[in-house]
């Protein structure tokens, strides 16, 4: 009997049938499922909950048959967690992948793709196993994985990172917009796959930089995610991998310029970037230890130029608003002279009062401490063709010690090493402030003195020196 007939036979004199209002349960069920298992690819479990899940897997001896149905739904998020990674247990990984296939668990498979991208490290056998599995099932994965597998061969460890790097280097949009356009987020953007792409980009970029110097900016953009240097993300867990990527990146940014410098703007950005993430190469700290010697030489030469520029900039700032036209011209003339002799300069070191030290340390440029002076005073030491030169910021003078003069102040490139102002003038063989006549300025005499001792010398530093 259908409902219509049942209603037609309702007793005429009896009470009418009444139906209670229905309460929709689907939204509540959906809410409970979202709270329990997540409504996207984001990790729903806290770090403590994931650690507890790892402990349960260990107690089960990574026997898939002993893993509870509830825990199975979260295994994707811990496959590569902890020192004893579940994914590195071959039988466990095979059983887990088989469970994903029968029946096909599309959402879970998408989570595996995201976890794989976050953990991607070719040194792990499980990464290759899962990559091959994802490649076979790519068309059945949720977006954006099918398209990325088709366009970029993303799940190929040999080709995927390189194609991703090529696409990024060729694009014009910023990092966030680029990855949004690919549909990637979270660990897929911050993790191991992008570190591999950075390494691939470091291999590709040097072949292009001479013809397209501004490609260096794209490479540096890829190297930083949310203000964090990508190799630093794996320094604690995989220091060798982090060091290898750091070396490839520094060499990619420096070695293309062995014969000719890049445009000034490009060089400035590269120096800023390398100072920020590697430190001052002259201090010989760890991050430069494994970088190719030729790249180290280029960076050291660029820092010599940066040191000279910084010294005269500090001097100009100190006199800003009260300097006479001749003082400004004198600063410019001094700066231009030393920059024009850059190929002969073997080293440069800034020495500053407390005010200058704070500013220089913020920019990661190494410097010494100038004592016995005002806090805004500064000086610069140069080594040029065996001579030692001390340029004094507030007096506008240069003092020169010839080779083998025991009174020459040492160019001690240790951070914080203290220099007394008096030691930067004592025993000099030449001082530009000591005038002999009114027909010749101190700077003219300095230029003549230095050039006389440079006669016959061959530039050893910078592009000219590297070509000799």
Per-residue pLDDT tens for 398-434?
999 999 999 999 887 777 788 998 889 999 999 987 7
pLDDT for 182 beyond 70: yes
Q: Which of 24-38, 208-222, 275-289, 322-336 has the lowest mean pLDDT?
A: 24-38
Structure tokens at 281: 């190469």
What local confidence, expressed as pLDDT, does residue 460 receive? 79
Q: Residue 76 gets which letter from DSSP? A: G
Q: For residue 433, what pLDDT is reported?
A: 79
The yes-or-no verdict on residue 7 having pLDDT over 70 is no
pLDDT at 355: 81
Phi then psi for residue 93, to 5 deg, are -65, -40
d(CA 96, CA 100): 6
Q: Which of 31, 33, 77 is nearest to 52 (CA)?
A: 77
333 Cβ neighbours under 8 A, 6+ residues apart:
443
Higher pLDDT, 283 or 327: 283
pLDDT in tens, 296-329: 999 999 999 999 999 998 888 777 666 567 777 8
Q: Where do the domains of the chain lie?
A: 46-266, 305-467
Check residue 24 and give its pLDDT.
Answer: 74
More confident residue, 12 or 130: 130
Task: Place 162 in a pLDDT band, splitting at 50, 70 and 90.
Answer: very high
CA angle 208, 210, 213 (to 5 degrees): 80
Q: What is the pTM of this model?
A: 0.85
Q: How far is CA 21 from CA 5, 14, 236, 291, in A?
A: 22, 21, 60, 74
DSSP letters along 336-347, please? Answer: HHHHHTGGGEEE
Helix or strand run (H / E) with residue 400: strand 398-401
Flag whether pLDDT at 377 surpasses 50: yes
**Angle subtended at Cα 224 by Cα 222 and Cα 226, rounded to the nearest 5 degrees:** 120
3-state secondary structure of 172: coil
Per-residue pLDDT of 102-152, as tens digits, reads 999 999 999 999 999 999 999 999 999 999 999 999 999 999 999 999 999
The band of 2, judged by pLDDT with boundaries at 50, 70 and 90, is low
């Amino acid at each position: 009997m259908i409902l219509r007939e049942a209603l037609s036979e309702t007793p005429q004199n009896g009470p009418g049938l009444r139906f209670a209002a229905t309460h929709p349960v689907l939204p509540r069920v959906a809410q409970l499922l979202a709270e329990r298992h997540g409504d996207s690819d984001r990790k729903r479990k806290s770090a403590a909950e994931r650690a507890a899940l790892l402990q349960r897997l260990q107690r089960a001896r990574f026997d898939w048959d002993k893993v509870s149905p509830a825990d199975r739904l979260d295994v994707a998020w811990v496959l590569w967690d902890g020192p004893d990674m579940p994914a590195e247990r071959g039988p466990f990984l095979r059983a887990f992948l088989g469970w994903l296939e029968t029946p096909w668990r599309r959402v879970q498979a998408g989570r595996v793709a995201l976890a794989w991208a976050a953990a991607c490290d070719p040194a792990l056998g499980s990464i290759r196993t899962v990559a091959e599995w994802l490649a076979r099932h790519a068309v059945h994965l949720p977006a954006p994985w099918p398209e990325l597998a088709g366009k970029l061969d993303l799940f190929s460890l040999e080709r995927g990172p390189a194609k991703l790097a090529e696409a990024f280097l060729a694009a014009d949009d910023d990092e966030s917009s680029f990855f949004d356009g690919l549909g990637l987020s979270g660990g897929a953007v911050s993790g191991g796959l992008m570190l591999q792409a950075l390494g691939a980009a470091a291999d590709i970029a040097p072949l292009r930089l001479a013809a397209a110097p501004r490609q260096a900016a794209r490479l540096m953009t890829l190297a930083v995610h949310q203000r964090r240097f990508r190799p630093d993300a794996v320094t604690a867990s995989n220091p060798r991998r982090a060091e290898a990527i750091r070396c490839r990146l520094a060499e990619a940014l420096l070695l293309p310029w062995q014969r000719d410098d890049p445009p000034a703007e490009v060089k400035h950005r590269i120096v800023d970037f390398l100072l920020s993430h590697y430190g001052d190469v002259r201090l010989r700290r760890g991050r430069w230890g494994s970088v190719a010697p030729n790249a180290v030489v280029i960076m050291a030469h660029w820092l010599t130029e940066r040191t000279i520029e910084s010294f005269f900039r500090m001097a100009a700032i100190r006199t800003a608003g009260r300097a006479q036209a001749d003082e400004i011209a004198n600063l410019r003339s001094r700066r231009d002279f030393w920059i024009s002799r850059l190929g002969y300069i073997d080293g440069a070191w800034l020495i500053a009062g407390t005010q200058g030290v704070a500013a220089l340390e913020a920019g990661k440029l190494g410097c010494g401490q100038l004592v016995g002076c005002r806090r805004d005073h500064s000086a610069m030491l140069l080594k040029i063709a065996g001579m030692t030169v001390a340029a004094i910021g507030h007096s506008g003078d240069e003092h020169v010690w010839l080779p083998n003069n025991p009174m020459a102040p040492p160019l001690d490139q240790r951070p914080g090493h203290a220099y007394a102002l008096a030691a930067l003038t004592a025993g000099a063989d030449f001082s530009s402030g000591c005038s002999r006549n009114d027909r010749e300025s101190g700077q003219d005499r300095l230029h003549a003195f230095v050039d006389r001792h440079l006669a016959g010398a061959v530039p050893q530093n910078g592009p000219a020196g590297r070509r000799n």
